Amino acid sequence: MIDRPIFMPRLDSAVSVVVDPATTTTLDNTVIDVQLEIPPDTVFDENGDAYTGSLSLSEVPPEFTPGALPDTLDPSMVVTIQPIGLTFE
């Protein structure tokens, strides 16, 4: 039994890019001043294939993470990179 609500993070749909596995992809969320640079051929889907879809980066309030954070962890910022199921190498 889970003793706390499970929250679904709100995604910032304005902050997304399409990943091109042949070039460096930059995902920039200027609202929270976070930038993610993805080198070529480093993100893969659940089948191990090069990912070519949309990728988003959104802030998640620490009190609304999908799962409980350890008591010893007190982050100043929590983000979610979507969609789920991707592997970054």
Q: What pLDDT digit, counting tens, does each position of 47-76 carry?
A: 999 999 999 998 888 888 877 788 888 888
Q: Is the pTM of this model over 0.85?
A: no
59 inside domain: yes
63 inside domain: yes
Mean pLDDT value of segment 10-33: 90
Distance, CA of 33 to CA of 18 (rounded, Å): 20
SS3 64: helix
Q: How much is the pLDDT for 69?
A: 80
Q: How much is the pLDDT for 70?
A: 84
Task: Identify the domain containing residue 55 by its residue range.
Answer: 16-88
56 inside domain: yes
Domain count, the chain: 1
Distances from the Cα of 87 to the Cαs of 11, 29, 36, 41, in angstroms? 19, 20, 14, 11
8 inside domain: no
5 inside domain: no
6 inside domain: no
